[in-house]
Amino acid sequence: MNPMDFIESLDPQILLGASVAVIVIVAAAFLFSSKKAKGCLDPQNFKDFKLVKRTQLSHNVAKFKFELPTSSSILGLPIGQHISCRGKDSQGEEIIKPYTPTTLDCDVGYFELVIKMYPQGRMSHHFREMRVGDHLAVKGPKGRFQYEPGQLERLGCLLEALESLQCSRFLGQY
């Protein structure tokens, strides 16, 4: 019996079930074997990222889009963390300030910062002077907050309890 005769002799439901099982096994193997991409940040050393686009959003706010090392790179910034950016003020002195990108790790190949530039802001001067092709020195991730799945639900319960306490205090005064 050749293989085609054997396949044609099978019940269509069994054939469909076997096909679905094979697809699920292959998909699961792919998901479990693929590792999460490593971010390109370094918490100890500054790395330069090239400015590829600058979009003026208002008279003093601009969006800066920076290129990551490859088109498949991710920044690797955990939720609740920020980056440190290094630049020079109008006097040429080095300045370092924290910023939080507006992009996530699902945005591969780039990250964006939305920056409000203040007239006397020291780092604002650096961003005002940046042109496409310039580089920004960045290191991170930085920050003490470590997000864990389910943490926001626990925070919501705490806030509800505090709200109830405040309401009971308020009602107890009258």
Per-domain residue ranges of the chain: 3-29, 47-142
**Helices and strands, counts by H and E, the chain:** 4, 6
pLDDT for the residue 144: 81
* Residue 158 · residue 150 · CB < 8 Å: no
Strands 61-67 and 47-58: antiparallel
Write down the architecture of domain 47-142 according to CATH.
Answer: Beta Barrel (2.40)
- For residue 74, the 8-state DSSP code is B
Q: Is the peptide bond before 69 cis (omega within 30 degrees of 0)?
A: no
Look at residue 16 and tell me whether its pLDDT is greater than 70.
no
Task: List, in sequence order, every residue forming a beta bridge with 53; answer none if it has no partner.
Answer: 65
Percent of the chain with pLDDT over 70: 66
Percent of the chain with pLDDT over 90: 56
**Residue positions forming the annotated binding site:** 98-99, 114, 116, 123-124
Look at residue 74 and tell me whether its pLDDT is greater than 90.
yes
**Residue positions forming the annotated binding site for FAD:** 98-99, 114, 116, 123-124
With 0.75 as the threshold, say if the pTM is over it.
no
CA torsion sign for 149, 152, 156, 159 is positive
Confidence of residue 6 (pLDDT cuts 50, 70, 90): low
Please report the beta strands in 28-81, taking only residues with DSSP state E, as ranges in sequence order: 47-58, 61-67
Query: 114-153: per-residue pLDDT in tens?
Result: 999 999 999 999 999 999 999 999 999 998 877 777 766 7
Q: Which amino acid is at 56?
A: Q
Q: Tell me, rounded to whole angstroms, the distance of Cα 164 from its chain centroid.
A: 35
Q: Which amino acid is at 22?
A: V
* Residue 101 · residue 115 · CB < 8 Å: no
